Structure 1
Amino acid sequence: MVVVSKIEDLKAIITSLKSNQKNIGLVPTMGALHKGHLSLIEKSVQENDFSITTIFVNPTQFDKKEDLENYPSTLENDLKLVEKTNCDLVFTPSAEEMYQENLHAEAFYFDGLENEMEGKHRKNHFDGVGTIVKKFFELTQPTKAYFGEKDFQQLQIIKKMVSKNQMPIEIIGCPIFREEDGLAMSSRNARLNKNQRNSAPFIYESLQKASELLKTSTIENVNQWMQQTYKEQTELRLEYFEIADEATLQTATKKESSKKYRAFIAVFAGTIRLIDNISL
């Protein structure tokens, strides 16, 4: 496994791969890797001639400075984990390397996908995501790129960006990896204290319950039930719960048989923000 941190070194490797007509798989990450990330890398290794993992905590997608400062950095351990997957290359640039003198996000329009859910609560977040993913796509020229469905809105936005920019990249969405108690795996989970960690599986439980309720009830009733059930939680605070159209991500108010829906949730455990979703 090769580890490079300079764009110049990466470009030389990509040029060689392309001249030999190799398929390239890409898994962009922000480090603090867990089994969910590793499953994406393993899938890339299986499906491509050459696999690249990027480890980069992207400053332009954080709306709060303290979130960026508190984001876990475990590069040494991350590299050991990636090596076990038989990944070929890890790209670990600095912010200066990726942004040079211009540490700003490009402005994107994702046909309104960016204005729903996370977009309402994290200003300019998806501009930051779009900026860095586009940079990585341009640098690595992947055949396929792999993203987890935990960030389902991000997945849809990246698919939209690829489509709008006519990039010849297949975007692969992969199922959410969960702990044994149902909590969606996240780098943020490591920051939970014992009480918060014990309470956090309720997030997935509430999504499962909402999914069951929706079979016999209205969206409005399910929304009301969710608001009430979180008022009874001492360790968890509901930021939002929305049932949305999977394609447009627009909030649904009534069920239509022709549409596919997904439930999305964001919850605070103290200052730690956790997200999850479930197909309905």
Structure 2
Amino acid sequence: MKIFKTQKELQSFLQGLREAAKKIALVPTMGALHEGHLSLIREAQQIADATVCSIFVNPTQFNDPKDLERYPRPIQNDLQLLEAVACDVVFLPEVDEMYPGDDMPWHIDLGELDQIWEGAKRPGHFQGVTQIVYKLFQLVRPDVACFGQKDFQQVMVIQRLVDIKELPVRIHICPTVRNQDGLALSSRNLRLSDAGRIKALALYRSLAFIKNYKTAKTVDALKDGALQILAQEGDIEVEYLAICERRTLREVDLLLPHKQHVALLVAWVEGVRLIDNMLLD
């Protein structure tokens, strides 16, 4: 496993791969890796000749400086995990390497994607995400980039970035990794008690209800049924539950057969904000 800390070193190495006609996959992360991240590496290895994993806690996507400061950085453990799954390349830059100080102000027109759901909760967050992802795409020039379905709105934002900038990279969405009971894997789960983790399984059950009955019930009835499942569990605070058109994430009143849809859910359990979703088509 090669580890690079500067753009120049990484570019030099990747140039050799390109000259050898190797297909390159990029998996951007902010570290604190878990099985969900490792599944992205494994999937990238199936569709490319070389996999680059970046680990960079990006300051421009944090609204609160304290959140940035508190963000976990278990770098040695991350590197051990990546070595164990035979990742080819790790890019591990410092902030000055990615933001040297002479950057032009960044703004990209993400439309409603920047203003609804997670965009509304975290103003400016997706501008920061697109800023760093664009830098990484320009640097690595990957053939394909792998992102997890769990952060679905983020993936749609990055697809919009690719479309606007006309970048020659394919966005590959990897399925959400769940434990055997259906709970979506997340570093946040560690903050739940055993009872809280059991309670959080209601998120998966509510989304599965929507998918299972999508052809038999109206959108309103689907949402009502899902909310009842969450309410029956008790002590789950729903922040939002929405059934949306997949690309725009606009909420819909009707599931149209020629459209693709996704159910989005954010709920609080034991003071922990849990994010999940399910593709309905």
TM-score (norm 1): 0.91
Could you tell me how far apart the structure 1 residues matched to 2:267 and 2:111 are? 26
Q: Which residue of 1 aligns with 2:57?
A: 57
Which runs of no fewer than 5 residues in structure 2 stay unpaired? none
Distance 1:267 1:277 in 2: 11
Q: Which residue of 1 aligns with 2:205?
A: 205
The alpha-carbon deviation at position 129 of structure 1 amounts to 0.9
Tell me the residue number matched to 2:9.
Answer: 9
Summarize the Cα distance change of 1:266–1:69 in structure 2 as closer, same or farther, 3 Å threshold: farther
Letter in 1 for 2:34: H
Equivalent residue letter for 2:153: Q
Q: Distance in 2 between matches of 1:219 and 1:25?
A: 38
Q: Tell me, what secondary structure is at the counterpart of 2:263?
A: strand
What displacement does 1:104 show?
A: 9.6
CA distance in 2, matches of 1:215, 1:19: 50
The residue that corresponds to 2:34 in the other structure is 34
**Higher mean C-alpha displacement, 137-146 vs 95-104:** 95-104
Displacement, 1:105? 7.3
Question: Is the CA contact 2:43–2:174 (under 8 Å) kept in the aligned structure 1?
Answer: no
Distance 2:229 2:17 in 1: 53
Deviation track 1:44-99 (CA, whole Å, cap 9, x = no partner) reads 22322221101112222223444434433221111111112221110111223212
Cα deviation, residue 233, structure 1: 4.5
In the alignment, what sits opposite 1:237? 237
Deviations 1:151-208 (A, max 9, x none): 1111122122112111111111111110111111112222323332232111111111
The aligned amino acid for 2:62 is: F
Deviation at 1:212, TM superposition (A): 3.1
- Equivalent residue number for residue 266 of structure 1: 266
Following the alignment from structure 1 to structure 2, what is the Cα–Cα distance between the partners of residues 7 and 208?
43
The answer to whether the aligner puts 1:151 opposite 2:138 as a matched pair is: no
Q: Give 1:265 shift.
A: 0.5
Distance in structure 1 (CA, Å) of the matches to 2:70 and 2:228: 31
Relative to structure 1, is the Cα distance of residues 12 and 264 closer, same or farther in structure 2, using a 3 angstrom cutoff? same
2-side partners of 1:146 and 1:254: how far apart? 31
Structural mapping, 1:89-238, within 5 Å: 89-101=89-101, 106-238=106-238
Shift of 1:231: 4.4
Query: 2:44 matched to which residue of 1?
Result: 44
Report Cα offsets for 1:199-254 as digits up to 9, x if no partner. Answer: 21111111112333443322123333444554454442111110001122110112
Shift of 1:141: 0.9
The more displaced of 44-53 and 96-105 is 96-105
Structure-2 change in CA distance of 1:105 and 1:69 (3 Å): farther
Q: How many residues align?
A: 280
Distance, in Å, in 1 between the alignment partners of 2:12 and 2:240 is 45
Are 1:24 and 1:50, in contact at CA under 8 Å, matched by a contact in 2? Answer: yes
Q: Does 1:71 align with 2:66?
A: no
Q: Which amino acid aligns with 1:193?
A: S
Query: What is the alpha-carbon distance in structure 1 between the residues aligned to residue 184 and residue 65 of structure 2?
Result: 24
Instruction: Give the direction of change, closer, same or farther, for the CA distance of 1:94–1:104 in structure 2 (3 Å limit).
Output: farther
Distance 1:222 1:138, change over 3 A: same
Q: Distance in 2 between matches of 1:117 and 1:279?
A: 17
Q: 1:47 to 1:211 in 2, by over 3 A?
A: closer
Deviation at residue 145 of structure 1 after TM alignment: 0.8
Q: How has the CA–CA distance of structure 1 residues 278 and 30 changed in structure 2, closer, same or farther, with 3 Å as cutoff?
A: same
| RMSD across aligned positions (CA) | 2.2
What CA distance in whole angstroms lies between the structure 1 residues aligned with 2:269 and 2:258? 36
Distance 1:202 1:109, change over 3 A: same
Q: Secondary structure at the match of 1:57?
A: coil
Q: Does 1:246 align with 2:246?
A: yes
Relative distance call for 1:250 and 1:82 in structure 2 (3 A) is same
